[in-house]
Amino acid sequence: MEFKSKTNEWIEEVDSALDQLLIAEDVPPQVIHHAMRYSMFAGGKRLRPILCLATAEMFNGDKTKVMPVACALEMIHTYSLIHDDLPDLDNDDFRRGKPTNHKVYGNAMAILAGDALLTHAFEILSKEALADADAANNKQRLQANYEIANAVSSRGMIGGQVVDIISEDNPVKEPSVLRYIHTHKTGDLIKTSVRSGALLSGASKEELENITIYAEKIGMAFQITDDILDIEGDQQELGKDIGSDEKNQKLTFPSIYGLEKSKRMARNAITDAITFLEKTGRESAYLKELAMYILTRKK
Amino acid sequence: MEFKSKTNEWIEEVDSALDQLLIAEDVPPQVIHHAMRYSMFAGGKRLRPILCLATAEMFNGDKTKVMPVACALEMIHTYSLIHDDLPDLDNDDFRRGKPTNHKVYGNAMAILAGDALLTHAFEILSKEALADADAANNKQRLQANYEIANAVSSRGMIGGQVVDIISEDNPVKEPSVLRYIHTHKTGDLIKTSVRSGALLSGASKEELENITIYAEKIGMAFQITDDILDIEGDQQELGKDIGSDEKNQKLTFPSIYGLEKSKRMARNAITDAITFLEKTGRESAYLKELAMYILTRKK
């Protein structure tokens, strides 16, 4: 119960910070700022900012310093969803139960709103680095900024999306391809969310190593449960059509390993995540519960 | 003649640096790195990196420190062209005489290649800021990084593109709208190219102010000549169809002010640019010739 109230508290704080950090809807050209906010406030779980904030809290970081970075991560996540949903890519009409960005604003504006969210994220990261230029830990901040850009690059998040698209046209049930897609398409942003929270809070090299493995393992489990929910999930609760992976011949964990083995793999990943989390020696009740939540989530 | 050989020298240096900074074509996923390089090496004039390098030279900057930033600016410029050319936006099949990115790689890959070039630009900017964290002028570098992100944001380059698209559907011959589009769509990136070259080379506040006006004026003249070339230019030399502005009912200088007045406006902008360039009191033969070249360019 404490996990849930803490989560809700963070969601509220993130939403309020996002509202401050995003450009107001009355700033010209208004339509793009509407479009950006539409997808930013379409009911996201705020998993990435919460991971960043929770990791920072574990390492006694300064929340006010970490919050803009946490919000930038959510903007990057949202830009990637807007572009993924486009007719030229996954062609999805609904996301979290609401019409996707291009269904509301048209394809051109959705492309530009995605571009603008990605750009705005980097604007925030650069602005914070400049404001904190004289801070003792500015090097860690610059390291975090660099890692975030790298994580969402053509060898990171975009790379995962590219291979996902290619393998749709040419489905081969190759575990290494599946691993590539998931490590990069969802895993890299989750990992960098955790690492940037740690970097901004002065984690030691060893702490950083352990928390990185935690992040990799929950990222993997998150993706496996995503694949499982597309088979066993509740359409209403998920806010999107189920069965779309099979329809689109997507390479998924269940399609390669079957449902039961996939579930076991997710459980094992979470067990490993918790082991490495505890190796940091830090107070980490929230991140432990978050790992377990990933395993049992319904949406 | 010296202007031409200096320009060619810089183009070669920029091309070689871009080749180093872009991800190699054999790095997976290969297709996206091919797509990114295809548009990066499709015969651009390298105006933005050259502006950055020439400004840095004028202020006795360190070329090796400025070059990655100059290349990042060209990556951002190229991403914006790839996305602008998409069927959902301007729907252009040719650019600089070659098929546009989406004609070669498909719409999905063109969207992702644009995303990846933008991301790669910020990755380079962050990496340089990190590598130079202990340098005396790191604050100016962080300032440049922030200004670049801001210049290409929803209130900058993307904002200009948004208004351009909106005004196509609803053409009003309103000078303030034309001014908005051109100031932001092309002007802001040109301005930030000059300013970042100056910032990285320790220009004083006053020098920065004067060179900024130079940049604004040449940006305006560049756009006016662009509009004029779409009417009077040579299709072969330009590498793209002429007359497309009129066909698409684009808001242009000639459509509002007529051809003769537009030409006069371009000449006046260049005269002003040179006045402010000289006010810096720096040796600036190249930037002066570049301003005059903008007025007489054929492509």
Per residue in A112-145, pLDDT (tens digit) is 999 999 999 999 999 999 999 998 889 999 999 9
Here the tokens at position B105 are: 């790689």
- For the cut 90, the answer to whether the pLDDT of residue B58 exceeds it is yes
In the prediction, which pLDDT does A167 show?
87
pLDDT band at B172 (very low <50, low <70, confident <90, very high): confident
- For the cut 70, the answer to whether the pLDDT of residue B35 exceeds it is yes
Residue of chain B with shortest Cα separation from A86 = B108
In the prediction, which pLDDT does A55 show?
98
- For the cut 80, the answer to whether the pLDDT of residue A236 exceeds it is no
| Calpha distance B124→A163 (Å, rounded) | 23
Taking the Cβ of residue B61 and every Cβ of chain A, the question of whether any pair is shorter than 8 Å is answered with: no
Q: What is the mean pLDDT of residues A279-299?
A: 91
- For the cut 80, the answer to whether the pLDDT of residue A240 exceeds it is no
Between chains, do B149 and A126 touch, taking CB under 8 Å as contact?
yes
Between chains, do B27 and A155 touch, taking CB under 8 Å as contact?
yes
Q: Are B79 and B224 in contact (CB under 8 A)?
A: no
Q: ipTM of the assembly? A: 0.96
Q: Which residue has the tokens 């007489």?
A: B296
In the prediction, which pLDDT does A297 show?
84
| Calpha distance A282→A121 (Å, rounded) | 30
**CATH, residue A281:** 1.10.600.10
**A98: containing domain:** 2-296
Q: Of A281, A171, A267, A180, give the one whose Cα is nearest residue A228.
A: A267
Q: What is the mean pLDDT of residues B72-81?
A: 98
- For the cut 70, the answer to whether the pLDDT of residue B119 exceeds it is yes
Between chains, do A162 and B109 touch, taking CB under 8 Å as contact?
yes
What predicted TM-score, i.e. pTM, was given to this entire model? 0.96
The maximal CA–CA distance of chain B, rounded, in angstroms, is 53
Name the least confident of A173-177, A273-277, B153-157.
Answer: A173-177
Residue of chain A with shortest Cα separation from B167 = A29
Q: Tell me which residues of chain A, numbers 100 to 129, contact chain B at a CB-CB cutoff of 8 Å.
A: 106-109, 111-112, 114-116, 118-120, 122-123, 125-127, 129
In the prediction, which pLDDT does A1 show?
59
Taking the Cβ of residue A170 and every Cβ of chain B, the question of whether any pair is shorter than 8 Å is answered with: no
Between chains, do B149 and A155 touch, taking CB under 8 Å as contact?
no
Q: What is the mean pLDDT of residues B126-151?
A: 95
In the prediction, which pLDDT does A41 show?
97
pLDDT band at B290 (very low <50, low <70, confident <90, very high): very high
* Mutation to test the A interface, candidates B31, B78, B86, B115, most A Cβ within 10 Å: B115
Q: What mean pLDDT value characterizes chain A?
A: 94
To the nearest whole Å, the CA of B142 is away from the closest chain A CA by: 5
| Calpha distance B229→A121 (Å, rounded) | 36
Non-local CB neighbours of B126 within 8 Å, separated by 6+ positions = A125, A142, A145, A146, A148, A149, B145
In the prediction, which pLDDT does B192 show?
98
Name the least confident of A23-37, A239-253, B16-30, B101-115.
Answer: A239-253
Q: Give chain B positions within 8 Å (CB) of A79.
A: 115
- For the cut 70, the answer to whether the pLDDT of residue B6 exceeds it is yes
* Mutation to test the B interface, candidates A89, A123, A174, most B Cβ within 10 Å: A123
Q: Give chain B positions within 8 Å (CB) of A116.
A: 153-154, 158
Helix residue ranges, H only, A132-258: 138-151, 157-169, 175-182, 188-199, 205-232, 235-238, 244-247, 253-257
The CA-based angle B21-B22-B27, given to 5 degrees, is 125
In the prediction, which pLDDT does B1 show?
59
Q: Tell me which residues of chain A, numbers 128 to 157, contact chain B at a CB-CB cutoff of 8 Å.
A: 129-130, 133, 138-139, 142-143, 145-146, 148-150, 152-155
Number of domains composing chain A = 1
Between chains, do A154 and B29 touch, taking CB under 8 Å as contact?
yes
pLDDT tens across A209-219, in order?
A: 999 999 999 99
Q: What is the mean pLDDT of residues B34-58?
A: 97
Between chains, do A139 and B130 touch, taking CB under 8 Å as contact?
yes
To the nearest whole Å, the CA of A222 is away from the closest chain B CA by: 23
Here the tokens at position B42 are: 């499709």
- For the cut 80, the answer to whether the pLDDT of residue B169 exceeds it is no
| Calpha distance B211→B220 (Å, rounded) | 14
Instruction: Report the residue from A123, A145, A158 with minimal CB separation from B153.
Output: A123
CB pairs under 8 A between A and B: 158
Residue of chain A with shortest Cα separation from B145 = A126
> Which of B29-57 are b and which e, b meaning 16 or more Cβ less than 10 Å from the residue's Cβ?
bebbbebbbbbbebebebbbbbbbbbbbb
Q: For B252, left (φ over 0), alpha (ψ -120 to 50), or beta?
A: beta
To the nearest whole Å, the CA of A34 is away from the closest chain B CA by: 11
pLDDT band at B283 (very low <50, low <70, confident <90, very high): confident
Between chains, do B32 and A159 touch, taking CB under 8 Å as contact?
yes
Q: Give chain B positions within 8 Å (CB) of A28.
A: 159, 163, 180
Q: Are A83 and A100 in contact (CB under 8 A)?
A: no
